[in-house]
Every structure is written in C-alpha cells, then in structure tokens.
Structure 1
Amino acid sequence: MQTDRSQQLFERARQRMPGGVNSPVRAFKSVGGEPFFVQRAEGACLFDVDGNRYIDYVGSWGPMIAGHNHPAVLEAVVRTARDGLSFGAPNALEVDMAETIARLVPSCQMVRMVNSGTEATLSAVRLARGATGRARIVKFEGCYHGHGDSFLVKAGSGALTFGEPDSPGVPKALADLTLTLPYNDFDAATALFDTAGDDIAGLIIEPVVGNANCLPPREGFLQHLRELCTRHGALLIFDEVMTGFRVALGGAQARYGVAPDLTTFGKIIGGGMPVGAYGGSRALMERVSPAGPVYQAGTLSGNPVAMAAGLAMLELVQAPGFHAALEAKVHALCDGLEAAAGAAGVPFSTQRVGGMFGLFFAPGPVDTHAGAVACDTAAFRRFFHAMLRQGIYLAPSAFEAGFMSSAHGEAEIDATIAAAETAFFAIRD
C-alpha cells in the first residue's frame, strides 16, 4: 500500500497544526502509525491521496448514513450554493428543517439550529440551568458531549465524587458543578438523585453510548432516568448527535420509548455539513433568546447550504424500510466478524443498535464503560492496522462506534469479513 503523499502531508501538517490534525482522534495516536489523507469519497468508500481505496465504517463519524457524496445531497448543496453561501439572515430552509425535526421527533416542538454538536449540548445545558435555576449537571462515564468545559470531566471513585477536570484549561470550580455516574448502573443513579437531586438542573446522556465504543442501554435504564428526573425536577437531555435518525427514524427516544425534555442533534441533519440543533417543548424553548432570557446566538446558524444538505439526507432516511435494511446489514457484518474471531480463537464480541456497532476484544456482552476499558486495546490496535492494510477503514480508536451506510452492499460486507478472517489469525499469531 503506497503512503508517500499522506506521509508528506502529515509532516507538513505537523508544522502548522497541533498534532498535525484539526481533531485529535484523526492523528491515530491511540492505534499508532500515521493517518492517511483523503482525496475523495464515494458511496461506501474513501480514496486517499496515494490512490488507495478503503471500505469506510467511520462515515465522517456518523453523518454519511446514505453513503458518501450521495447524488441527492450533492445536488441540493450545489443548487442552494448558487444562490449564496451564507446570509446571516433568516432563510426558508431553516424553517423547513425545524418543521421536519419536529415532525420526526415529537418531543421537539421547537428547535434552535446551531453549528456543531458541541454548541448544541452547551446550549441545552445552559437552558436546563436557566429553566430550573439550578447549577449542577450529571453526565456518564464514557459519554462524550463535545469539548465544552462542563463535559471534560472524568468520573470520581463514587457517584457523589466531584468531577475532576479532564483537560488543562477547565476550571476546577466549573468541574465541581458536574457529577458523574457509571452508565447502566440503576442503583448509582438512584443514590445520586436521592442525595443531590434538588441541586441538579439536568442529566445529559448518550442514550446509546457511541464514544466508549457502542454501549446500548440495559432494559429499563433510560426509563429509570426519566423517572428520576421527573421526580426531582431535573431535565432529561438526550444527546442524539450520533443516534438521531440512525438507530431509528425518530432516534433512540423512539426506539426505546422514552421522551426527554431536551434533545441535541448533529451529524445526519447536516448531511455532511457542520450542523447541530437542540429542541424540546415549546415551554422550554421559548425561554431561549429572543423569545426568553436564556441567551444563545450564532452568526452561521441555519446556514442555507447546510440546511439543504441535511434536508436531502433526512428525505433519504424516511424511505420505507430504510432503517430495517441498515440494521440487517449491521447484523450481517457483526455476525460475520464474530464467526471469524471464533474460528481464529480470538476473544471478541460485538454490540449493535440500528446503524451503529461496536467491536470489543473481550467476551461479551460489554455494556459498561468499565467493561469497554477492560478490553484488549492492544489487540484492537493490531487488528485495526491488519484491516487497514487490506483496505478496510475502522475508527482509529478502540473507544469509538462504527457506522453502517445504505451504500454498503453485500460485496463490501463480504470483503470486510474476509479481511477480518485474515486479520484475526494474524493478530493471534
């Protein structure tokens, strides 16, 4: 596999960009080696600057649910761009987007567009604090909600341990307002609310964790959190940046039958463009400026080109049978990978929810952050590179979910499983 041009670009990038990248996981630090640089993408595949082709299970970290460069999305972007790239003023497409989200996700009676998932989660937490008059928020181990100060906190030794900043630059005083819980632990959640429930403004969670690999909720866990928040007057916030319109048409809240107070979106509603949104009941959202006192603004929010891309993507995922077909492909892939690992005698398991999946080098099932951390990350690193050499691109981290698209066909899935058969034996030896 030729890599000369990617290596040259990475060397240049490291001179002018921290770590040579504009987002940390791209640097391959957790798997070793150097990243490839993408030239173009089409359907289920990426093509790098050296001419190598990869079957892609990252999908730009989730938004490419219909595959890369889908003709309908591309046409919408080109058509809209001809009228201008940005206005900084209202446009009809942002109204269409708000109406579409409200129709597909009934808990969101009103929506505010922003420019990223991080903006969406920061804004939702500010609204929760403004609406309740409380300061503390609760998050879960392994759940990532963007790089806002309130979220860069790791768990302490117990449910009531104050969070410690996970990054320099995050004030300890702000971290003290963030409490952490272990994901899928009913008792710890109950104990936390029994002790501190009157001080909690909101609880934010990835209903299916996608940033500690792929961890589905245990039966009744999301319902339990809904009950705790209702009982103690806290707001339940679902971070559906990753799961929204991917694990079901109405997101994780539709799949599991739990209505949050606020929801954050991203990825698919941008169709590949940088977009985020948050929404909730009319009563809550009318607290946001200029209708209410909770301030939030964004010059490029509701950008017409991004709205056009997202609306085209949302139109595609509403096709009858879209999600059932996507989920069937995920099952075919994961079943094949588990069979290949079993034949090689490698401890390995998968998790899958809708169009998401996770790979764990440990006997399954793994459904907690502690379980994910305990997996054999060294084996994953070897597997990642063995697959990459065969033209299969998985997330370059043992703690990131994988994503299927409707563009992946039987040929791509079969090729992936065949590559895994070789890779599992290679890493075992």
Structure 2
Amino acid sequence: MTDQHDSYAESRAAYAAACRLLPGGVNSPVRAFGGVDLGPVFIESAKGARVFDVDGREYIDYVGSWGPMILGHAHPEVVAAIHAAADKGTSFGAPTQAETALAERIVGAMASIEKVRLVSSGTEAVMSAVRLARAFTGREMIVKMAGCYHGHSDSFLVAAGSGVAEQGTASCPGVPRALAQLTVVAPYNDAAAVRAAFERHKNRIAAVLVEPVAANMGVVPPAAGYLETLRRLCDENGTLLIFDEVISGFRVAFGGAQERYGVRADLTCLGKIIGGGLPLAAFGGRAAIMEHLAPTGKVYQAGTLSGNPIATAAAIATLDLLARPGCYERLESLGAALESGLARAAARAGVPLTINRVGSILSGFFCDRPVRDFADVQATDIARFKRFFAEMLERGVYLAPSAYEAMFVSLAHTDADIGRTVEAAQASLKAVARAIRL
C-alpha cells in the first residue's frame, strides 16, 4: 500500500489475502484504489454519514456506496423493512405485491414512465433498454456520449473512433469489433455531433443513450438546451431517447433529471437509490414500447432475482422516506454549502479548482477553466487530485478513489459534517499547494 503507514495495517493484510483469491483483490475495479496510487481501505461497517474501516478509523463518507445511500447508511426504517421482509423469505422467483407497490411509486415519480420492469443492476437495465429500443425501431445502431458510463455490457465498452461522432472501437478486450461498430460515440454536451451522426447514419439509429447529468466522468451538467435538442433530434428521426438515470434518478430530484430539466425520455434506466442499498434496478417508459417485452411481446428479458422481496422492501422504504417534504431542499442546501466551502478553501490555498454540482452530487476538478465534456475532464490535473485524495483520507474524509467520480451528499450529513469536511479540504489543499511549489 503505497504511502500508507501502519495505521492501515489491517487493510494491507486484508488486501493481500483478497489478492490471493480475487482478480486484483476486488470485485469491482475502482475499489482497488489504482486511480490514486494507494491500496484500498477495507470497510467494516457504516452508520449514517460515517464509514469505519478494519483498522478502526472513522471517515465522513462521500462515496455512499457510489450513490445509493442518499438516506445515509443503515437507516433504521430501511433496516427494519429489510428484516421484516427477510423473515418472510429471501427469494421466491414468483410475483409479489411488493413488486407492484414499488412499480406504482416509480411510475408516480417519473412522468415519462407508464410501465416498468424490475431487474438487478444498472448494467442489466441499460442493456435491456437498448435491446428493447432496437426491437421497437427495427434498427441496430445506438449513439452514446464519450465519458458516460452505462455498465459493462459489450455495446457500451466502446471508445470514440477517429473522428467526432464516428462509429466506435472496442475499449475492452473481449468486445467484438462488429458489435462496437454499431455504437456511435459523440462528445457529451455536443448536440451538433449527434446531429451529424443522424446525417451520416440516416434511418439506422435505434436510440440515443445519455446520462442527462453526466456523473461517471465526474459531475458534468447538461449545457443549456442540450437535452431539449437531443429530444427534438430523436423525434425528427424516429429514434428513441434513453436516459440513463441510474445515478441521477431520485438523486437530483425525486423525479430525477427529467423533473429537474423538464425533458422526457422514451425509456429511462434506474438503479442505485431505488434499491435502497440492495441490488435492484429498473427500466421503464411508454406502455407502447414496454409491451414489446416478453411475455406480452417478443423481446426476451428475464431474471431469477428480479424484484427480489428483500430488495423491493428496501426500495419502498427508501422512496417513501424521500417522498417526505423537505428532503430535496435539504440535500440542495447541504450540496451548496459543500460547494461554496470547497471553493473558499481552494481560493485560500491558491489552488485552481473548478466545481461542478447538480443538487447533492458534485465534483472538484483541478483546473482553472470550465469542465463541459470528457476531453475537459481528461485535461485536468490528476496528480493533484491523487495528492488531495490521500490528504483527505488521512484527515478522515472518504472520497471516491478516482478523479472521474462524484461526491455524494446524503440526508445523514449534518452542517457540522460539511464544516469538518471543508476544514479538512483547506488543510489538504494547502498540502497540494506546497507540493506544487516543490
């Protein structure tokens, strides 16, 4: 574990044991801390806005299990719902009334969704939505945006081609070249590039797939008019607009980015928050499209654990808590306080820092210019982020171990937590400034 001293001895030992049995010692790559040149911290427990590692260290948590823990960890009402459901059985592989109850809540919150299918992961939701779009339109090509992550299925592990809005190339071994070439990659926030894709591939594009608030290259908000233009282009070309709201759904507003920006998708993919911390996701949209799914239609999609009773219980409890008055106002307030505090700390330290925030998700990019797309993100100072991450970890603030991820604020965070975080950031940024001068 590079540059981590003996207070992380148990994490070092745990990682060594894991590496003997798991590829890279982890079950999801970013957990390995490779993006910050450190070894991973192993978490033992969590409560509220805190996580606790195996070495007994306590951290203010801004990872939140990569977004789901909007209520904080181990919320008592969610835990009680999980216990009550588990007492009745952990899996049935049969319909339950809880699945319908959860679907009612999702349809009620998302104006563009008339019918919904529950699945187990965001990857599965997006993969299934794209298959459905291809079947509905009778076309094969899709457009995605550079830097937007939509899970690890083959169609989405694709990098940009040689030009703007060109057919993609596989960015991962094992992805067939022929399949990658069915994906066109355009820069995020560049509607002109999407228009060019429609002109180049006329009557061949089944769907435009986008994070309405990009949050997998760090947080990058949609430019004014961007989502509206995508909607119009899809309508003009008989193409479905798919919003990947796995992160933004129930996060940037109760009705997701579609509520916040007033643009409706044809299909919407949800995950993270709707599972209440358990493996559950969904995709939904207009009934006329969704009815093409089996068993009413011919598009096959199935899952043994889809609508798992424990996961649906956690989901219902979470959404009911979020529906209470004042939740999103509080999240907005906490997010704004963290943003302004980090900006002040950076100014005092003399370190350029651009902060992008949408509601309770935000990112700090080490640069002195706006960050509007993935190329802008890649041009930021990653070395400074790595130093900042290590300094914050030492001061008891747990950030995502990658410059390409977001900070997630939860309802469990307090004003005092934000204050402590800003104090830690000021000291950490001063250390970054010293390192720059050296």
Matched, 1:155 2:187: no
Are 2:380 and 1:375 aligned? yes
- How many residue pairs get aligned? The number is 429
> Match for residue 58 of structure 1?
63
SS where residue 16 of structure 1 aligns?
Answer: coil
Which structure 2 segments of 5+ residues have no match? 1-5
Secondary structure class of the residue paired with 2:88: coil
Secondary structure at the aligned position of 1:273 is classed as coil
2:303 is aligned, of 298, 302, 310, to 298
Residues in 1 aligned to 2:202 and 2:389: alpha-carbon distance in whole angstroms:
43
Partner-residue secondary structure (3-state), 1:383: helix
Are residue 84 (structure 1) and residue 85 (structure 2) matched? no
How far does the alpha carbon of each residue in 1:323-344 deviate from its partner, in whole angstroms, 9 at most, with x for none? 1110111110011111101111
| Alpha carbons 1:159, 1:179 under 8 Å: kept | no
Alignment match, 2:182: 177
**Partners of 1:203 and 1:236 within 8 A in 2:** yes
CA shift, 1:364, in A, is 3.7
Report the equivalent of 2:3: none
Cα pair 2:249 2:256 within 8 Å, conserved: yes
Match of 1:103 in 2: 108
Q: Deviations over 1:369-403 (max 9, x none)?
A: 11111000000000000000001011100001110
Deviations 1:27-47 (A, max 9, x none): 000101111111110000000
Q: Which secondary structure state, in structure 1, belongs to the residue aligned with residue 59 of structure 2?
A: strand
Which stretch has the larger CA shift, 339-348 or 358-367?
358-367
Structure 1 gaps, min length 5:
none
CA distance in 1, matches of 2:401, 2:70: 19
1:268-297 C-alpha deviation (Å, 9 max, x unpaired): 110000111000011000000001000000
2-structure distance, mates of 1:144, 1:376 = 21
- Asked if 1:310 is matched to 2:349, the reply is no
Shift of 1:186: 2.1
Distance 1:244 1:161 in 2: 29
The residue number in structure 2 matching 1:402 is 407
Amino acid at match of 2:55: D
CA contact (8 A) 2:211 2:245 kept: yes
Q: Distance in 1 between matches of 2:70 and 2:306?
A: 23
Choose the corresponding residue for 1:320, options 321, 325, 337: 325
Instruction: Confirm or deny: 8 A CA contact 1:161 1:179 kept in the other structure.
Output: yes
Query: For residue 82 of structure 2, what is the amino acid of its counterpart?
Result: V
- Answering whether residue 185 of structure 2 is matched by residue 168 of structure 1, we say no
- 1:13 equivalent to 2:18? Answer yes
In the alignment, is residue 200 of structure 1 matched against residue 205 of structure 2?
yes
Deviation at 1:159, TM superposition (A): 2.9
The TM-score with structure 1 as length reference comes to 0.99
Task: Indicate whether 1:343 and 2:344 are aligned.
Answer: no
Q: Please report how far the alpha carbon of residue 160 of structure 1 lies from its aligned counterpart in structure 2 after TM superposition.
A: 3.9
Judge conservation of contact 1:133–1:201 (CA < 8 Å) in 2.
Answer: yes
Q: Please, which of 394, 400, 403 is the counterpart of residue 389 of structure 1?
A: 394
CA contact (8 A) 1:124 1:262 kept: yes
Aligned equivalents of 1:260, 1:423: Cα separation in 2: 41
- Is residue 26 from structure 1 mapped to residue 31 from structure 2 by the alignment? yes
One-letter identity of the residue aligned with 1:311: I
Equivalent of 1:252 in 257, 273, 277: 257
**Matching of residue 358 in structure 1 with residue 376 in structure 2:** no
Q: What RMSD, in angstroms, separates the aligned Cα atoms of the two structures?
A: 0.8
Equivalent pair of 2:165/2:193 in contact (CA under 8 Å): no
Cα shift at 1:162: 1.8
Residue equivalent to 2:429: 424
Contact 2:168 2:180 in 1 (8 A): yes
Provide runs of 4+ in structure 1 moved above 3 Å.
none
Report the Cα offset of residue 195 of structure 1. 2.0
Aligned residues: percent identity? 53
User: Residues of 2 paired with 1:322 and 1:365: CA distance?
Assistant: 29
Residues 36-95 of structure 1: CA deviation (Å, up to 9, x unaligned): 111110000000111100100010000000100000100000011000000000111111
